[in-house]
Structure 1
Amino acid sequence: MALLTPLVISRRPSAAFASMGMLWGSFAAQVPVLKDRIGAGDALFGGLLAMSGAGLLVAILIAPMFDKRLGARSMQVSAVMLAVVYLSLGMAQSPVGFAVAIVLAAGASGLLDVLINARVSELEGRHRRSLMNVNHGMFSLAYAMGAFSTGLAREVGWPPVATFAVLGFLVLVLSTTMRLEPEVGIAGADRAPLPWLVVIPSGLILLIAFQSEASVEAWSALHIERTLGGRAVEGAFGPTMLGLTMAAGRFAGQAVGERIGNRALLTGALLVSSTGTVIAGLASTETVAYVGFGIVGLGISVLAPTTLAMVGVRVGPGPRAYVISRVAVIGFSAFFIGPAMMGLAAEFFGLRIAFVMIAGLLLLALLPLALLSRQDRVVPA
């Protein structure tokens, strides 16, 4: 019941979270075959992934106008857009084609991401209860299901476009449940002054969380298949394990955060996720790598939703959606930096060292967390 009630309250954005999770989980499991198909090395592939940041940035900038124009149907339309453009990823045959496809997919995904987080934050304010972790948990659970089913599809010879088409159809079905009228909307308070002492440190934590999460998601299957010699379904189990433990961590984080507080939860999560990244990167067997990715998932799971929840309670109900969208601008810049950094590290030092670098990055997030915690006594909750 502790999870059922929040899911019922936020069932419409929850369906959107699940839709996005299925598609990105499938993409993570397809990375080895997509990379081989376009003939890209690690550095080039990382650079191509970094181009997704352009799509995300455009999506964030147009989100207020999009939300204002479409209102209750904004989540539906952006989910359908995501399902359609994902087919272009499955059909890409060259680096240029992949670059165009990843920009489009990231743009649709970023637009949907901003909208659903804003809707959940509005529902939190209306019902006076935490909903972020359980919704992000639905993303992770669907991510794991998408990754594992894609691994099975690869084993029997399905091409990426066929898998994306099936999952896209499921997203179209789910989109019929996503209609939700905004209370204020992202553009509703865009002239209010931003609380920068909250926005900047929160955005930096989100940036590191997204960069670490995206790097592990995108390169885990390749690490298992190339570094450790695993098969397609074994490689897919890397992002599957990550998604499952992230779902478990987010569902548990709903209750744990209320008991120990957000600062303690984030501190522990950063330490746990950095430890797991080292274990996965230095693993000598697939089993050890799975354990490492599982630990990463448990730790990294609560970083983004807890940070967004902290932002939500520190601003009023009017500017909440707008402030969250501005924090997302900083956080989403990770998609410019992270994939390129991971690709270059993998190209010159190997994937093992690249994962260790991610561990160090996670520890750096303790600095903006300390700054944000100081504002707990300054910015009223």
Structure 2
Amino acid sequence: MLRDIYMSRGPLAAFAAEGLFWGSFAALVPVIKAQAGLSDGDFGVVMLIAALGAVSAMWLAPRAEAKLGRWTLPVLAAVMAGAFVFPGYATNGVFLAVVMMGATIGSGSLDVAMNARISILEGRSGRPLMNLAHGIFSVAYAVSALMAGLGREIGWTPSEIFAAGVALCGLLILQMIAAPVPDPEPVSEETAKRRLPWVMLFPAGMIVLLGFMTEQATEGWSALHLERGLGAGAAEGALGPAILGMTMAIGRLSGQVIVHYWSEAVVIRVATVIAALGSAIAAWAPSLFIAYLGFGLLGIGVSVVAPMAFAWVGRMVPDDKKALAISRIAVLGYSGFFIGPPLMGFLAEGFGLPVSFTAISVLLLLVPLVLVPMVARYRP
């Protein structure tokens, strides 16, 4: 694993940068939401608006990658870091929606590019790296969520916490510059003209959608669920997203080993059932301990869903098509990354957060029952 980390250290720095900002944001949701004076439904609308910019950016990400080449990751990481300066200053919903759209544009574009670069490295090295990369994201997410929660406890403002994140991201950008992934090698004209198979991309994208919808919904609302429903304090509430991040890191790093023994289809099936069970437990937990247990199971299960889907698709397409294929399933899949919080907000407004987490549990069961068999039928 140390060899894998060294080989992929450039893209891994990009995954760490993503986790750094989204972990901080998850722990700061209660204070940012209150500072902007938003209800659950209003906050859901803000995140839905932010999602529109992200989806557009993901669709165009392959063009940005083609133009920027080996500078893709550091440039997009710098854009994301610059955008995350502003959410801490938001005092109304309109301003928060605009600045979060900027953050999701930078984050979404970087996400497509770094997954494509990891997929290229996987193809060239013959080593499974996707779970490792997403595991690094989860470690960075968990640590930053916990540190942001502690920052809240000692009186730091959101703007100060995000400023510290920007400084740390600068160091990660230096690593991206120092260890770039070479551009894809040219392919034959026949391969270049080959169209991407939507019969495989659509269900794979839906798997990613449900995985990221679960992940981001939990990231965005777990702290609020714990603080509102179970009386947790700021640090105890931040443990919700922190536990999610830590267990996702454990699941993804374990997936680095499991993928040598089980196929992607088997892993995704088992993982989504575990995640669905965890979401249901967290939804109706009578105590903080049981809720933490539920979020832990959810994290272990959902951790490998998206990485396995990306690796599965990346294995089926040539190098020069990887960025395009990942972009297309990311447009669909990462819609879930941003649809999750507004969906949770709308359901919480009408029925409460326990019902919101129960709905997530039910939706996850579509993966093993419907979507995995659809992808498995495709033969490149």
Normalising by the smaller structure, the TM-score range is over 0.9
For the 8 Å contact 1:64–1:185, the answer to whether it is kept is no
Q: Distance in 1 between matches of 2:328 and 2:70?
A: 21
> Unpaired runs of 5+ in structure 2?
none
For the 8 Å contact 1:266–1:306, the answer to whether it is kept is yes
| Change beyond 3 A, Cα 1:344–1:185 | farther
Letter in 1 for 2:184: V
Q: How far apart are 1:335 and its partner, in Å?
A: 4.3
In structure 1, the residue matched to 2:128 is 130
Q: How far apart are 1:61 and its partner, in Å?
A: 2.8
| Change beyond 3 A, Cα 1:17–1:104 | same
Q: How far apart are 1:185 and its partner, in Å?
A: 8.7
Q: Distance in 1 between matches of 2:36 and 2:358?
A: 27
Letter in 2 for 1:307: A
In structure 2, the residue matched to 1:374 is 377
In structure 2, the residue matched to 1:118 is 116
Letter in 1 for 2:34: D
Q: How far apart are 1:55 and its partner, in Å?
A: 1.8
Q: Distance in 2 between matches of 1:310 and 1:72?
A: 24
Q: Structure 1, residues 343-377: CA drift from partner, whole Å, max 9, x if none?
A: 111011100111000000101122111111222xx
Question: TM-score with structure 2 length normalisation?
Answer: 0.95
> Unpaired runs of 5+ in structure 1?
none
Letter in 1 for 2:106: A
Q: Distance in 2 between matches of 1:284 and 1:63?
A: 44
In structure 2, the residue matched to 1:363 is 365
Question: TM-score with structure 1 length normalisation?
Answer: 0.95
Query: 3-state DSSP class of the match of 2:184?
Result: coil
Q: Distance in 1 between matches of 2:172 and 2:315?
A: 30
Q: Distance in 2 between matches of 1:335 and 1:206?
A: 9
Q: How far apart are 1:5 and its partner, in Å?
A: 1.6
Q: Distance in 1 between matches of 2:338 and 2:26?
A: 18
- Once the two structures are aligned, what percentage of the paired residues are identical? 42
Q: Distance in 2 between matches of 1:52 and 1:185?
A: 35
In structure 1, the residue matched to 2:161 is 163
In structure 2, the residue matched to 1:183 is 183
Q: How far apart are 1:318 and its partner, in Å?
A: 2.7
Between the two proteins, the alignment pairs up a number of residues equal to: 375
In structure 2, the residue matched to 1:202 is 204
In structure 1, the residue matched to 2:315 is 313
CA RMSD in angstroms comes to 1.7
Query: 3-state DSSP class of the match of 2:146?
Result: helix
Q: Structure 1, residues 53-102: CA drift from partner, whole Å, max 9, x if none?
A: 11212211331222122211110011111111101111111000100011
| Change beyond 3 A, Cα 1:252–1:335 | closer
Q: Which moved more, 1:313-322 or 1:132-141?
A: 313-322
Q: Distance in 2 between matches of 1:303 and 1:96?
A: 34
In structure 1, the residue matched to 2:46 is 48
Q: Distance in 2 between matches of 1:108 and 1:190?
A: 28
Letter in 1 for 2:183: E
In structure 2, the residue matched to 1:223 is 225
